[in-house]
Chain A
């Protein structure tokens, strides 16, 4: 399976990445892209910028493990994960997940699975800058709950 994992400071081109996965093949019937974008406010307070710190080496390894896990769970034909680090402004892209499969359920499920894990297991930390200074974003219980649903015996795959 074609898989691409990149950590980078620069912005990415979601469309170009999705096109790379499908170019020249006719077995792919479904492509899901998720783009995470820096919002202009966090918990209601306006923010000026976001800085993403990461653990080089571990971040790539952790994402690779989850991409392999996704491949084992669903019949995927391609996966791309790009996560930016460094400082970014509201409206800028943060993260991209692209999944390709013959059928839509696998593509949707794998993209959600990868995002839930990126939120809770990939070694990245967000710091927001606002008028009141710099603050580390706290982990959300809702994200942990979202990630935990993948530990349960498969249920949604039954519809495939």
Chain B
């Protein structure tokens, strides 16, 4: 005796077009099977008709939420193959934007989680705070979401000292605002009732199923690609945020604490940012193979690029964090309640557009 429920691609709580076929018994999930492909565009193939500069704009649109990290990682690949040294200021600026993206992404996610929990006011509140970061993006980069600041060899826009000061002011404000809602996540009986113990992923599972990012750290694995010190991270002090429990609440806490971490990193960056050029001239065509990794809000991003000195790159391969987080999600769903499906799905912060590219 079972109920079969389609979940997505068009579903009000799951904003992303992912389809899950749920087999339920008294609302307990017995089986969950996914269908992907509702966002698949095949943009990796565009590398064969767009040159490497144009590809910067294209990979940026793999996903709009942490767009600049895609462009950044792609640029690192090409720069790596061509042996280009990016000016230090450009590295710092790239990371400032990345961290701002991480902040807006985490807040966006927190809002969506609140919405899945049915807590509309928290959704509204967090998204309102998020608009502050969006304003920063718009003022510094010229666009709210897809900021298009990276280019091969550096960045396209500089930040004035005034702007940097303003950013510090904004993140300070954000910190006080976050303090005010902290107890909702850490203490609230109802919120914890919906998240604690829901969708438990053990250390072992997280490790073996290849989880990434907050999903991995929520299960106690202290792995954060920023520790590799790419770009300007080598100049910054921070330690990965880790929670032990591996449930939805732990993942929530990881992201929430990472908001504070990002605020701290932005402050450090702005304190240390050097003056100087923001880009170098690029000449020639790359060749060879390269792998670059970076940390997105959702976890590890990996680019594999192959080139042979041609006008077009041979292959651009993108491994996104959600792609890695789907198998753990499928492992977490059976046995949970139907009401928790959305919560658990959102606790991995799914980003299907980058999963399918």
A and B part of one assembly: no
B interface, CB within 8 angstroms of A: none
A interface, CB within 8 angstroms of B: none
